[in-house]
Chain A
């Protein structure tokens, strides 16, 4: 298996601390349960396991794609990483420094290194502020002088392909979706971050505009030495942009690995079903029956055992009782392809699990490790 991850940038980044081999961000056992309260006394009656014990890392300069259906917790994960929601458990390590602990990076330091581009919607930009002011706001908060921040905002507008003298004083409702998304990107770049979280950043755009914004993201990544976490439900786009892909289902990671491995050889039946849901452009290749039945189950009371067992075509007794393990994602090599499914773990008790002695898998052709 070849290492698909591009190695460290050619010119050393002055902001770099941990060296090229140190992952940009390590996420360790992060957890968030939202309580559901009801009744007169606001008693907790249930909880939504939005993000349930997730660990992974992002290498410097790579793009990690995160996919999953709505409600799988991918947006909650993004907000946890940004410290917009408080996590219940877990640690973040930013370029070798633990975040929010005495010895490590402060929250302010995290905010300067980590920024987020939101989905284009009416709410992503303050409707009462000219876009220039929206972009300049972050640097001003961090202590940049009013005038310098304005100048920086105008430079950023040019950088994302909008003429500053023409667009700077406009309000969000005077811009098209693609233009607004360029402004959103400029705002995220204003603090000179190293890692950008793109949460469905191109999902609401028209196809031709989507291509423009993706080109822009590609160019910016190169120019500014950025690392991306790209969250999307569009598998075509994730395939195009990502180096590695992480698949989420009901708050858990079910599969992680290099993009080509995942797309050509999905190991988890959920990933396989998601891939089968991509529509062909050829009217002769119509889908006659849906690859995945039903809606994703409610994250309030997730199924026991493997959370996917209610929709899985290969379900067996072991799937309902025992939760399959993904393996140690933090120790794994970036080229490694891991899946949380009993069918890929030898000796799991699933009839399709590989025999400990003979390697090749019966279900998915080709080798997995």
Chain B
């Protein structure tokens, strides 16, 4: 405490050392996340759900597609079928595990593709502005004009059923909102002084986009995309429910909900199971993205 500072120039020795150690951006994000128990719990839950889906072939006690007329609509807690059976006597536990594979795939893969495509278009539109922005964003607006469910039904209807087509449908539906978020975030970053400083040093547009814009746009876009995972799962379930998604007898949470709906008066609990799975998964994804948003909101 007794050292008396030397001159302020050329080296300022008294520049206050921070009490906390220096961490990078992602370090400080993790530090905030660490104390957010709700988000951590949901992250754990998602991990469990994903693991269950991945290891479904080894975990499921029976063949999910083998029906048995004798064992139709058994209740939950049955000696042989732990979670009961559906209207064709297939084991619910096995079907839920296998169905999770399809549903999670439908939740995650279209969001990844939509983020890549929509994000790229959004960043381009936001950075260049003017006519480029007009063309891209007006095109997005055309898709935006329809309610997402209606749009999904229309596209899926014209493409036909099947897992591949369903993924294309969902990707197309999810591109416009991501593009819009990326565009807004980019336009904001674009107007900041450090981008001008980079331009003043003679940097090419590509270099500015990858070095300066992308890292600043990434976190809002990622946060937004993570909220879309649950929407994508629900949309996929909706499509399957309407018969526009995967075709029976493949297990899928939405499809299971659809086919079990006639049995709701006979075995309400069993009929509610796929719905419960959709609900829990989508809530978990939503809460995680909420937590991410808070953790990434570093005032820098």
Contact = CB atoms under 8 A, between A and B. Distances in A.
Q: Do chains A and B touch in the complex (CB under 8 A)?
A: yes
A190 to B, nearest CB: 8
A119 B11 contact: no
Interface string A232-244: 0000000000000
Interface in B263-295: none
Given A137-B203, A141-B202, A123 B12 contact: no
Say whether chain B's binding surface is mostly helix, strand, loop, or mixed. loop
A107 interface: yes
B216 A84 contact: no
A137 B211 contact: yes
Interface-central residue, A118, A159, A191, by most chain B CB under 10 Å: A118
A107 B199 CA distance: 11
A141 B196 contact: no
B18 A174 contact: yes
Contacts of B261: none
A162 interface: yes
Given A84-B196, A124-B194, A141-B203, A173 B300 contact: yes
A126 B203 contact: no
A225 interface: no
A316 interface: no
Interface residues of A, number: 51
Question: Interface size bucket, B side?
Answer: 20 to 34
Interface-central residue, B10, B201, B211, B216, by most chain A CB under 10 Å: B201
Nearest to A167: B15
Contacts of B3: none
A79 B15 CA distance: 32
Given A84-B196, A124-B194, A159 B10 contact: yes
**A-B pairs, 6 with minimum CB distance:** A127-B300, A138-B201, A123-B192, A173-B300, A111-B202, A118-B193
Interface of B: 8-12, 15-18, 22, 24-25, 192-194, 196-204, 207, 211-212, 215-216, 298-300
22 contacts: A82-B196, A84-B196, A84-B199, A111-B200, A124-B197, A126-B194, A137-B198, A138-B198, A141-B201, A141-B207, A159-B10, A161-B9, A162-B15, A163-B15, A167-B15, A171-B25, A171-B300, A187-B197, A212-B8, A212-B12, A215-B9, A219-B10
Interface of A: 79, 82-84, 107-108, 111-112, 115-116, 118-119, 121-130, 134, 137-138, 141-142, 158-159, 161-163, 166-167, 169-174, 176, 179, 184, 187-188, 190-191, 212, 215-216, 219
